[in-house]
Structure 1
Amino acid sequence: MTNAQTTAVPPIAAVKPTELTTHGHTRIDNYYWLNERENPEVINYLKAENEYLETVLAPVSEFREKLFDEMKSRIKQQDESVPYQEGNYFYYTRYLEGGEYPVHCRKRGSLEAEEEIMLDVNELAKAYSYYDLAGLEVSDNEELVAYGEDTVSRRMYTLRVKNLKTGEIYPDAIPDTEGGSYAWAADNQTLFYIRKDAQTLLGYQVYRHTLGTDPEQDVLLYEEKDNQFYLGLGRMKSKKYIAVVSDHNGVATEFRLLEASNPAGDFKVFLPREKGHEYDVQHLETTFYVRTNWKADNFRLMEVKENKTKDRSAWKEVIPHRHHVYLEQLDAFKSHLVLGERRDGLMHLRVIDQKKKQDHYLEFDDPAYVAGIGYNPDFNTNILRFTYSSLTTPSSTFDYNMDTKEKTLMKQQEVIGDFDPNNYTSERFIVKSRDGAKVPVSLVYRKGTPKDGSAPLLQYAYGSYGYSIDPNFSSTRLSLLDRGFMFAIAHIRGGQEMGRKWYDNGKMFKKKNTFNDFVDVSEYLIQNQYTQTDRLFAMGGSAGGLLMGAVVNQKPELYRGVVAAVPFVDVVTTMLDESIPLTTGEFEEWGNPKIKKYYDYMLSYSPYDNVKEQAYPNMLVMTGLHDSQVQYWEPAKWVAKLRTMKTDDNVLLLQTNLETGHGGASGRFEALKDIALEYAFILNLVGIRQ
């Protein structure tokens, strides 16, 4: 697909001006009408864009298929997770030859016992073009499993219950629930769940359901009145408590607890919410461990007895606050505490022996890696399960003896084919942003790739919500690396790689730091001969798509091509509309544009509002019609406006998956088709078509 080959005529969206006036300022939105999801004209336009994409990419259609087959061939068809023991059973998932979805299994007593199939998701998904299963909560008597299923990709799950002894799926079907937020009471008859609002898609009510009764009669136990808070629910590790969590990212947390043995009781507040105070808790015997940012930006660890939780004077410090270490993870065992501490942008696992009052850190060798505490349901053990990956090391699961320090590899992701990790190398270095901030960069490439500026490079980042993008392994990425590409992750502000202030300095009135960091990393990569402008590509999704939109407005000449997946690009209009799903909970991330100072600042960077007459890179924009996080019309409007404003003849493509939402296609293989499209688009632009 050279420019000479793009003779197809792109569809042009009809111009239907809509005046949007806020704070006395009027914007004209020519494509506001594209938000009419049920309008046949909208659907026809999206289909026309899809057809245009296929026409433009027709010369690389076989290459796309080859990339898909290549990536699929690296995945072990028949695979199985590392079992974990909980109660009387060992639980695991496995994949069948050709199976898109997992089969959830268990064995009683030992791994040599007869297998019981709990849920075969391949069977459950047969009747649907999209299927996602979430939850899987087993009752205390180990006879029932609760789970949620989404068949539309709007993240609205129907709660179901299956009897694992008889195989019967009960008629208790409860729609519009928060997938994965289910909890059994100890009586094996009572189930707690969160109901979501059909318009805003926010979970806002906690209900109690008794098996065999009409869900219409379920008891409302709690309703979150503040629509800026997100609700979560689950059974704590100790199994003693069911917890309801109200969380407003970056603002406040509030836990409510109910003893699982008293399902008819009331949830009691652990500590009332207070603006600026975030915390989470873990229960062990008669003590709660509290990870808290109370007088501690990077969080500290405290403990408190069960009956003293509301009295902060009774909280005792276990791990103090440290300015250079962000306390991110916690797990408690009878004799040990395990902490996930982020330092210098990397996760460090710290083991504390409670009896000996000694601690140590696990050692990792890769310059750029990701490690994390795994699922450890048993308190009474000295074995820690943790996960590890790096840019050159496939995802690995280890069991670690916290007393002897012996580490056992339980499973490593198997990459089928001739993959050899020794053929690849990774680097980690610091780039100084324009205001002096030190931005970490993780880089991977195949050994022998030239470092003289001639190599193509794909730069990726996210940079929002305090979500850290860690340098993990990707078998699909090998399709780029083996064709001479370098791949770089820019750990820009807005994430939390360098601690809480790293996040705070990339949100609200400091959001532009996120975009500047990305651009400054790009310029560093060019200046230091990793690549050059006609071989540099950028990629980001969702809030990372906002990043892509801001970057191409600011410095379009730096990039040969850009991939923006489900991009959040119409920031002001979306944040002004509280009826759009999930908007209100975002006010502390972006600001509330109903307040003029926020409106002015957001308007100054909103990608859609700042499209201008200039040359833009080649661009591939992807979305899903049923997206619950970023509505499809944002990227559709953006592309329509870009078509009328850009002064170049570079390719601009929009793909709308008419059957999926924010996460793209379901299934382990089907999702690879999107990646094959992205890679074919990128590789083709540098003349690689095989």
Structure 2
Amino acid sequence: MTQTPLQDSASSSPDSAAAIPTAAASADSLRPPVAKKVRHERTHHGDTFVDNYEWLREKESAEVVDHLKAENAYQEEVTGHQEPLREAIFQEIKGRTQETDLSVPNRKDGWWYFSRSVEGKEYGIQCRVRAQDTGNPVADWTPPAVEAGVEIPGEEVLLDGNVEAEGKPFFSVGGSAVTVDGNLYAYAVDNAGDERFTLHIKDLRTGELLPDVIENIFYGVSFSPDGTRIFYTVVDDSWRPYQVKSHVLGTPVTDDEVIYQEDDAAMWLGFELSSDRRHLVLGIGCSEYSETRLLRFDDPTAALTTVISRNERVLYEAEPFLLEGPDGEKSERIVITHNRNAVNSMVSLVDPAELTKPLAEQHWSTVVEHSDDVRVNGAGVTSTHLIVSIRKDTIERVQVMGLTGLGTPAQEAPVEPAFDEELYTAGVGGSDYEAPVIRLGYTSYFTPSRVYDFVLPTPAQPAGELLLRKESPVLGGYSAADYVATREWAVAADGTRIPLSVLRHKSIKQDLTAAGLVYGYGSYELSMDPGFGIARLSLLDRGVVFVIAHIRGGGELGRHWYEDGKKLAKKNTFTDFVDATDWLAGSGWVDPSRIAALGGSAGGLLMGAVANLAPEKYAAIVAQVPFVDPLTSILDPELPLSALEWEEWGNPITDPEVYAYMKSYTPYENVHSVAYPRIAAVTSFNDTRVLYVEPAKWVQALRSATTGAEPIVMKIEMDGGHGGASGRYVQWRERAWDYAFIADSLGAVELLPGAGLK
């Protein structure tokens, strides 16, 4: 259920209020699929809930599959008149996208790695070319000039996704790695959409695949520094990553060593190599506390060591590295980003010897102090600098400081790359430990993605230097000047100010005639950061005012913002969204009768909740892979990822108060007799995070209860996972489907004068 939101999810537009189309009328002659009712009782804490549609969970049942296919057939009939609009939006997305393109090369060890996309092909092609070492650090870390569609001398193809995907219903890469010497390439492939991957290893000297093949692994792979082993993660039956294993190349997979197994069903396990590749770093945790374990690579007899025990209930991340002292000697240190006496987190430096003492007796040096106004998201190191990610005034930023004097009064002041927009996102996009630069990604609502290299500060250049490597091209006559993004604030019933990002075409007038779309997520402390989206332009160009509601439960305003929208405060997320909708309805920009809502995954739960809370405020709701039956899922620890959700929503199995609170808002169990707006539930058959059965049951309940005539449809991708189908053209068509449903429902099907592709 946890996922990074679809950043480009939201927007719709008006033509004229009188032109709201006839989807409902066209549905009058159609009969939606009616699932049989099979009584199923669920009893907890003395409360019995009768679920007549639980039988739809039987994924292997031919009757269930036939029902889902009937749902698809129904939605195709109901929405068939939207096909020209879908095609138009698809062509707009395609027409604005430079289909033959490439990423900015990123250096790792002795190679530059990059990906190419080719017009007409669904998937990227992973490539590399040798790097040069001339002795000039900045020159050696300046990416080579690579041209779209032009092969450069010495270019090697590591993986062509189009070849790999041929004949497969789905294709996704869940991780890749290259040995330090550049000879071996490992990649993990999913051909079903269920996020279980098969690991292959290629010898890049010969192009041949090694016989080592590992089935059913999870995201992420890494080679050991000496290239003799590869590390990977395995999930348990409930789809929780619980084992990190090590495979020695050339040995049977059955001999693979379990480096660590996490048996707590509420804890998530992952791993990475430390920046200097001296340690394997295991991260174990939930949303409220964590534990880091380290394994040294330079000592074959070394055992895992724990930085801070989970029993201390500290939420933290740890990065070990060698710090040079005033005498020139290097000694082991660990930089820890933590919430110990710091709700918004802070950064400390600790000598590993301190970790043998009780926590209360340990000496930690403060590197970045706690602030009520600044959320510290994380910290990492290069050989010369500390890199800190922070969030201030809702905006994600990057700061750097030299390692000299770190944690002492001689510590250097932080340096922050400067950008000239109010609403933007800047984040570290990767860097090599020895590099004199760090790679930054930058975007805003109307600035296409940019890639910068930031030359790290030196005494000769104390402010560092931003070097623009690329701005993603946008074709079709796009101009940022045609659009406006502003920060507005809604006010909740309890007086809380809710930040909104309001996006519109510059020609929209504040005359109560436009259509509006409100998008939200509001869970897991995930922030809906400013980001450019080509598909969104198709809605803005049709006059839709697009509002991103930064509601409680997200992370935009610090840890308190998250905590005030989780567990027994979860309803704040839903009421904040309704308050954001009320702001839009009263803003003067839109006709209050022409507002739609959009959200996905946990944002799909949000859609279901607001549909029950305030159905009259929305003309249409699109819920993508919606988590609309959370109580059923979380009550069953055997279901995928359910136990991991207890720290987000509470544990309704053991706590009757949590059970009652969740039951009071869960979308499926609170469907009632009311006129629901047009609703589209969009899902995937192989989704392992939010099972298809949740929207399938929800749609049946909605149709049974609604007193209105608006159509309620479910669109299911039979070969997709949590993110939908895998190819880029298919994904564009899926986005076009969602946006056409919204635009059609709002009477916003025509382009504004002068808008659209040029």
Judged with a 3 Å threshold, the aligned counterparts in structure 2 of structure 1 residues 91 and 263 are, in CA distance, closer, same or farther, namely: farther
Q: 1:210 aligns with which of 248, 252, 268?
A: 248
Q: 1:372 aligns with which of 395, 407, 427?
A: 427
| 1:20-44 CA distance string (max 9 Å, x none) | 1111111111111111111111111
- Deviation of 1:92 after TM superposition, in Å, equals 1.0
- Deviation of 1:401 after TM superposition, in Å, equals 2.6
Partner of 1:234: 272
Equivalent-residue separation in structure 1 for 2:445 and 2:356 (angstroms): 44
Partner of 2:45: 23
- Deviation of 1:334 after TM superposition, in Å, equals 3.5
Equivalent-residue separation in structure 1 for 2:230 and 2:440 (angstroms): 30
Q: Does 1:120 align with 2:160?
A: yes
Judged with a 3 Å threshold, the aligned counterparts in structure 2 of structure 1 residues 282 and 331 are, in CA distance, closer, same or farther, namely: same
Partner of 1:338: 387
| 1:556-597 CA distance string (max 9 Å, x none) | 111111100011111211111111100001101111111211
- 5 Å matches for 1:428-447? 428-447=487-506
- Deviation of 1:263 after TM superposition, in Å, equals 5.5
Equivalent-residue separation in structure 2 for 1:43 and 1:490 (angstroms): 36
Partner of 1:639: 699
Bigger mean CA deviation after superposition, 70-79 or 545-554 = 70-79
| Counterpart amino acid of residue 123 in structure 1 | V
Q: Does 1:591 align with 2:630?
A: no
DSSP 3-state at the match of 2:490: strand
Partner of 1:284: 321
DSSP 3-state at the match of 1:384: strand
Equivalent-residue separation in structure 2 for 1:63 and 1:239 (angstroms): 51
- Deviation of 1:113 after TM superposition, in Å, equals 5.0
Question: Structure 1: where are the runs of 5+ without partners?
Answer: none
Q: Does 1:5 align with 2:8?
A: no
Equivalent-residue separation in structure 1 for 2:300 and 2:159 (angstroms): 27
Equivalent-residue separation in structure 1 for 2:728 and 2:648 (angstroms): 32
Partner of 1:459: 518
DSSP 3-state at the match of 2:593: helix
Partner of 1:416: 475
With normalisation by structure 2, the TM-score equals 0.88
Equivalent-residue separation in structure 2 for 1:89 and 1:519 (angstroms): 51
| 1:102-121 CA distance string (max 9 Å, x none) | 11111112436511111111
Equivalent-residue separation in structure 2 for 1:570 and 1:401 (angstroms): 49
Partner of 1:500: 559
Equivalent-residue separation in structure 2 for 1:33 and 1:432 (angstroms): 42
Partner of 1:248: 286
- Deviation of 1:529 after TM superposition, in Å, equals 1.2
- Deviation of 1:306 after TM superposition, in Å, equals 4.1
Q: Does 1:269 align with 2:306?
A: yes
Judged with a 3 Å threshold, the aligned counterparts in structure 2 of structure 1 residues 205 and 384 are, in CA distance, closer, same or farther, namely: closer
| 1:251-298 CA distance string (max 9 Å, x none) | x21111112344564322222213531111223323221111111111
Partner of 1:149: 189
| Counterpart amino acid of residue 736 in structure 2 | A
Q: 2:439 aligns with which of 361, 385, 389?
A: 385
| 1:36-88 CA distance string (max 9 Å, x none) | 11111111111111001111111121221222122122211111111121111
| 1:224-246 CA distance string (max 9 Å, x none) | 11011111012111111111111
Partner of 1:565: 624
DSSP 3-state at the match of 1:314: coil
Q: Does 1:512 align with 2:565?
A: no
Question: Structure 2: where are the runs of 5+ without partners?
Answer: 1-20, 133-143, 145-151, 323-331, 405-410, 751-758
Q: 2:635 aligns with which of 576, 581, 592?
A: 576
| Counterpart amino acid of residue 143 in structure 1 | N
- Deviation of 1:494 after TM superposition, in Å, equals 0.4
Equivalent-residue separation in structure 1 for 2:386 and 2:335 (angstroms): 10
Equivalent-residue separation in structure 2 for 1:260 and 1:78 (angstroms): 41
| 1:122-170 CA distance string (max 9 Å, x none) | 1111121101112111112211112211111111111221111111111
Q: Does 1:552 align with 2:552?
A: no
Q: Contact 1:270–1:310 (CA<8 Å) still a contact in 2?
A: no
With normalisation by structure 1, the TM-score equals 0.97
DSSP 3-state at the match of 2:175: strand
| 1:610-660 CA distance string (max 9 Å, x none) | 000001111111111111101110000000010010000012110111111
Q: Does 1:160 align with 2:190?
A: no
Equivalent-residue separation in structure 1 for 2:352 and 2:43 (angstroms): 53
Q: Contact 1:271–1:310 (CA<8 Å) still a contact in 2?
A: no
Q: 1:76 aligns with which of 98, 116, 124?
A: 98
- Deviation of 1:433 after TM superposition, in Å, equals 1.0
Equivalent-residue separation in structure 1 for 2:584 and 2:235 (angstroms): 45
Partner of 1:667: 727
Q: Contact 1:345–1:498 (CA<8 Å) still a contact in 2?
A: yes
Bigger mean CA deviation after superposition, 182-191 or 675-684 = 182-191
- Deviation of 1:375 after TM superposition, in Å, equals 0.6
Q: Contact 1:149–1:179 (CA<8 Å) still a contact in 2?
A: no
| 1:283-318 CA distance string (max 9 Å, x none) | 332322111111111111011234444445132111
Q: Does 1:295 align with 2:344?
A: no
Q: 1:604 aligns with which of 649, 652, 664?
A: 664
Equivalent-residue separation in structure 2 for 1:271 and 1:16 (angstroms): 50
Equivalent-residue separation in structure 2 for 1:130 and 1:574 (angstroms): 26
| Counterpart amino acid of residue 440 in structure 1 | P
Partner of 2:226: 187
Identity fraction in percent: 37
